[in-house]
Amino acid sequence: MAASAPLASETVYVRALTPRQIAWRRLRRNRAALCALGLLALLHLLGLFAPFLSPYSPVQQNLALYYHPPSHFVWRNNQGQHTFWPEVPATMLTPSHRCIDLPGTLAPLRLFVHGERYRLLGILPVSLHLFGCKNPVFLMGTDALGRDLLSRLLYGSQYSLSVGLIGIAITFALGLLIGGISGYYGGITDNVLMRFTEVLLAVPGFYLLLALAALLPPGMPSGESYILIIAILSLVGWAGLARVIRGIALTTRERPFVEAAKALGVSPLRIIVRHILPETTTYSIVSATLAIPSYILGEAGLSFLGLGIREPTPSWGNMLSSAQNLEALTQYPWILMPGLLIFVTVVAWNVLGDGLRDALDPRGMR
């Protein structure tokens, strides 16, 4: 058809893709990495909205209902009629720790109920919760003090997940700056900074963590100890990164465009930030995603040993420490839930990191 032929005056303007666009396209083709990304986004969102999603306060105890198994739903009401909405029975624990339903106590699970007041995202004072029930409802059971595991997991994720993100931010700020300066200036500056990082690298990391954590005063509020744990983890972690960044900076400073910037009279700090550090982005993004799990595990390890986030404030690590004895493990397996979440998060970060590495690999760029 003549109508479909393009006019001669029409110019087709094709714009080349930037490296970032190419990388994003390739990441989208990697299904596993995309799933991991989605999962992580979900986990972080859950943590962000923990007060709204959790039915109880993470520190509210029900001593009569300790190690309560996950609640079960009944699809009938007290009159025996079939319902389309789950009902929850009130329960009690026998002396032999069996959970039995109390007859005639069924109450419907309700959405958007008012409960304890909290500040949504730390600002908005509200009392709305996603769900609730007249009877105690524990979707994932309770711990030794009868605290709702789901609420504690949600609140705990705020600490456990953010440790990785904030930790990596501090580590990278330090590592990039020190590595960049060391590599760009070279000479004596390089020697002094690198010997210093080697000293740090020579100290076994976990012992350093233990020593530093033991310095925390025992009565410290958990908010403060949380900040300190992040500080400790990132102060231990930057050294290895700084060395790699220094290596990249050493090769980049010989590139002609850096020489051109130097010839223009651009200040050294500006050259480092604008020309040298961008060369490390591929490496940094990948190594950051692969390093986040070690922070999550580091926090979990410290909290597990009682040196991190302290009871009653929940974190996945200190929740897992209650799963230490065999009796609890065999009889109340739901208390392993934080372990499962740590595992899932760590795997997701690693899969995402792998996917990013493939996507950013310059050899595959077209």
Partner 1 sequence: MASELLLVDNVSKFFTVAGGRWGERHTVRAVEEVSLSIARGETLGLVGESGSGKSTLARIILNLIQPTSGKVVFDGQQVSSAKGEALRNLRRRMQIVFQDPYGSLNPRMTVGRIIAEGLPLRGMTDSAKQAEEVQRLLALVGLDASYQNRYPHEFSGGQRQRIGIARALAVKPEFLAADEPVSALDVSVQAQVLNLLLDLQQQLGLTMLFVAHDLAVVRHMSDRVAVMYLGRIVELAESSTIYTSPRHPYTRTLLEAIPVPDPDRKLPDIPPVETTSRPAEGCPFQPRCPLAIDRCRKEMPQLAEWGCGHFTACHRAGETT
Smallest gap, in angstroms, from Cβ of residue 263 to partner 1? 5
Our CB check for partner 1 shows the closer of 2 and 263 to be 263
Our CB check for partner 1 shows the closer of 272 and 292 to be 272
CB atoms within 10 A of CB 362: 9
Our CB check for partner 1 shows the closer of 122 and 265 to be 265
**Helix, strand or coil, per DSSP, at residue 123:** coil
Our CB check for partner 1 shows the closer of 222 and 282 to be 282
Distance CA 199, CA 347 (A): 31
Q: Is residue 279 a contact partner of residue 362, using CB atoms and an 8 Å limit?
A: no
Our CB check for partner 1 shows the closer of 19 and 223 to be 19
Q: Is residue 151 a contact partner of residue 53, using CB atoms and an 8 Å limit?
A: no
Smallest gap, in angstroms, from Cβ of residue 248 to partner 1? 14
Smallest gap, in angstroms, from Cβ of residue 261 to partner 1? 7
Residues shown for the chain:
366
Question: H or E stretch including 67?
Answer: none
Smallest gap, in angstroms, from Cβ of residue 274 to partner 1? 8
Smallest gap, in angstroms, from Cβ of residue 259 to partner 1? 6
Distance CA 190, CA 210 (A): 30
Our CB check for partner 1 shows the closer of 203 and 260 to be 260
* Nearest in space to 365 (alpha carbons), one of 60, 18, 99: 18
Our CB check for partner 1 shows the closer of 204 and 265 to be 265
* Interface ranges with partner 1 (CB under 8 A): 15-16, 18-19, 255-257, 259-266, 274-275, 278-279
Our CB check for partner 1 shows the closer of 188 and 202 to be 188
Tokens 């580091």 locate to 298
Half-sphere exposure in the Cβ direction for 228 (13 Å, CA): 22
Please give the C-alpha separations between residue 104 and each of 61, 87, 97, 107, 195, in angstroms, as whole numbers. Answer: 25, 11, 21, 9, 73
> 100 burial class (0-12, 13-18, 19+ CB within 10 angstroms)?
exposed
Radius of gyration of the chain (CA): 27
Q: Is residue 298 a contact partner of residue 208, using CB atoms and an 8 Å limit?
A: no
Smallest gap, in angstroms, from Cβ of residue 11 to partner 1? 12
φ/ψ of 292, rounded to 5, equals -55, -45
Our CB check for partner 1 shows the closer of 50 and 276 to be 276
Q: What is the DSSP letter of 179?
A: H
Our CB check for partner 1 shows the closer of 282 and 313 to be 282
* Nearest in space to 163 (alpha carbons), one of 352, 365, 349: 349
Distance CA 55, CA 71 (A): 13
Distance CA 91, CA 71 (A): 9
Tokens 């000293």 locate to 199
